[in-house]
Structure 1
Amino acid sequence: MKTNKPISRRYFIAGTGIFLAGYALNLKGSVVNADEPIIDIHQHTDYAGRSQDKMLAHQRMMGVTTTILLPAGRSLNYGSTHYGLSNGLQVKAGGNEICYQYARDHAPEMLFGACEVPDFPGAIPEIEKYLKLGAKMIGELKFNVDCDSAEMQKIYQLAQEYDVPVLMHWQYNMYNRGFERFHKMLEKYPKVNFLGHSQTFWANIDKDHPDQNVLYPRGKVNPGGLTDRLMSDYPNMFGDISGGSGLSSLTRDEDHARAFLTKHQDKLLYGSDCDDAAGHGPACQGAGTIAAIKKLSASKEIERKILYFNAKKMFRL
């Protein structure tokens, strides 16, 4: 799946040409660059109370040209939602219908995913409903369940049937339990592309990370951690560089980050997962992640893969 061939001028123009007409608009306050489009695979409606208008302005200010909105499952008083604590993905995120309607009204700038609480009896029909409506992935799966449970495997089987990726939030003792066993799912569902995200996923780029309770480790990284091995050994394991954990994985050890981005240049995709309203400045983690990717990519080709081409290929955009 990895290629070291440079991106040809013809390929680049073909990949970006569709954006030239649509984004050469004089959007007030926008820094969208149609010549270098960015796909953000991880954003939410109603994020921590942020309005949709502010979310849209935030995306444009960051320079994002295509956004995938990831819905929450329904609000339930289940153990899998920590008895309501984790409803709305624990950030008040909107659900399937909100994301679908907003994406439909703002196409092609906005796309959408599909999600549901895995052990809700109607989970599979609910997710399938939105896949039939055009959802680009299943996720964000952020629930207090074992990653290899029967309920989760039904979701993986659905993803395989519809040929869509699955995005999972990994957080030790909180969400998607059993990260150390997940290689078995990668082996069992080799046709499903899995996107790893959040604290436990990014903490485990480091081989020297013995205490899984530490969610935001600092300092130098010793290559060869579980995340690094999964991405190296399994063609269907990808990384979603989003959230504070994704940004921290780049900034904690810049020398390691340069090597990591080069090694996994075909397996990494940019996401913001940012609830900021401005879209710029030190408080905007999403903009900071874009800046870090640009700074730490060893070549323009690697930068463009992570910010655009890898997502374009995965989601067939």
Structure 2
Amino acid sequence: MDERDAGADGEESSADDRRTTRRRTLEGTAGIAAVGTFGSAGAVGAADRGRTPQEGDLEEGPLVDVHCHLIPEETLGRDPLSADDLVAWMNDNGIDRAVVLALDSPESYPAPASSPWILDQVGAYPDRLIPFCTIDPRTLVYGEDAAAGLLERYVERGARGFGELKAGVPIDDPRAERIYELCAEYEVPILFHTDEKAMTDEVGLPGLEDVVASFPEVDFLAHAHGWWAHVAADVEAADLGDYPDGEIDEPGRVPKLLERYDNLYGDLSGISGWNALTRDPAFGQAFLEAHSEQLIFGTDYIYPGQEVPQLELFERFDLERSAREAIRYRNLEDVLR
């Protein structure tokens, strides 16, 4: 969650080859079969689910939001957001399904939205809301068995992924790495928020790269300032908590890391994601085209009345059908077990 929202060379195989192999493997699993309803969940079933069918549904397939929240109480001058509120907003804006992220770290939000609470709240909308869970890595102060027991319980209750991981530790902290190991064991993807306060890293993202390379079996969904500032090469420490502007003269670490690691995805939500695409529209167009297989639509919707520019994404950028489908729902199919 963006706090101010309201977001190979030589003989080695290419990233495209690795992604194709990975997709074939995933499509052969039971998990992907369960999630595969995304592809048939467009206009055909929209009215039955209460969502207003949108022009282009049949051509583009469903729209799935990888980054939404439920908030139990008023904070920061913002009203709470219930499951009913979220689904009504989805209906109004042509969103078929949404991932709902837990927030349990003090750095994540003033009003916590715990994993058990999220799992309870989404129960009324099993065909619309997809719950994720989270565990602060500092919970390991109680021992690894405690954290493992929590994750097992959450997965058994229906959690499909892990996030929003937004804790005040370095992204390569040993405690965080134990969480990554647990997610590998339970085969759940991780959506993380990196900035100057949470899941921190240095300019150039060396910690993030080490994590992604060390856990190739885990899909990582990258979000927020610290990640999206690196869409350009000229990054300073202050940019890790800000929204850099101006044209992009040289691509940065984000496109390079996406090319190198097929288990890394970009969550397009929040002000940070939109800023990365629109600060240089020509670059944003080329970036979406080049990396459509590893980018996922998201909004970071967290309070009623929030302005969400991502709803204009497919009008703002002219993408081929295959790229639109990948960003709208296919890539999320790939990462959900």
Q: Secondary structure at the match of 1:50?
A: coil
Alpha carbons 1:46, 1:93 under 8 Å: kept: yes
**For residue 78 of structure 1, what is the aligned residue in structure 2?**
none
Q: 204-213 vs 253-262, which deviates more?
A: 204-213
Cα distance, 1:67 vs. partner? 0.9
**For residue 219 of structure 1, what is the aligned residue in structure 2?**
246
Cα distance, 1:139 vs. partner? 0.7
**For residue 56 of structure 1, what is the aligned residue in structure 2?**
87
**For residue 286 of structure 2, what is the aligned residue in structure 1?**
259
In structure 2, C-alpha distance between the alignment counterparts of 1:45 and 1:113, rounded to whole Å: 12
Q: How does 1:7-156 map to 2 (within 5 A)?
A: 16-18=39-41, 22-25=45-48, 27=50, 30-33=51-54, 35=58, 36-46=61-71, 48-52=78-82, 53-73=84-104, 81=105, 84=106, 86=107, 89-90=108-109, 92-120=111-139, 121=142, 122-156=146-180
Query: Quick check: 1:243 aligned with 2:270?
Result: yes
Change (3 A) 1:125 1:217: same
Q: TM-score, normalised by structure 1?
A: 0.83
> How big is each residue's C-alpha offset from its partner over 1:119-164, in whole Å with a ceiling of 9 and x where there is no partner?
1123332222112222111110001101111211111111111211
Alpha carbons 2:194, 2:227 under 8 Å: kept: yes
Unaligned 5+ residue runs, structure 2?
1-14, 21-35, 73-77
Cα distance, 1:257 vs. partner? 0.5
Q: Secondary structure at the match of 1:90?
A: coil
Alpha carbons 2:43, 2:62 under 8 Å: kept: no
The residue identity in structure 2 corresponding to 1:123 is A
Cα distance, 1:307 vs. partner? 1.2
In structure 1, C-alpha distance between the alignment counterparts of 2:49 and 2:228, rounded to whole Å: 37
Q: TM-score, normalised by structure 2?
A: 0.78
Q: Secondary structure at the match of 2:16?
A: coil
Query: Quick check: 1:197 aligned with 2:223?
Result: yes
Unaligned 5+ residue runs, structure 1?
6-12, 74-80
Number of aligned residue pairs: give it. 288
In structure 1, C-alpha distance between the alignment counterparts of 2:118 and 2:111, rounded to whole Å: 13
Structure ranking higher on relative contact order (CA contacts 8 Å, 6+ apart): 2
Q: Secondary structure at the match of 1:51?
A: coil
Change (3 A) 1:299 1:225: same
**For residue 320 of structure 2, what is the aligned residue in structure 1?**
299
Change (3 A) 1:116 1:72: same
The residue identity in structure 2 corresponding to 1:39 is V
In structure 1, C-alpha distance between the alignment counterparts of 2:328 and 2:268, rounded to whole Å: 10
Percent of matched pairs sharing the same residue: 23
Cα distance, 1:237 vs. partner? 1.1
Cα distance, 1:276 vs. partner? 4.4
**Which residue of 298, 302, 319 corresponds with 1:271?**
298
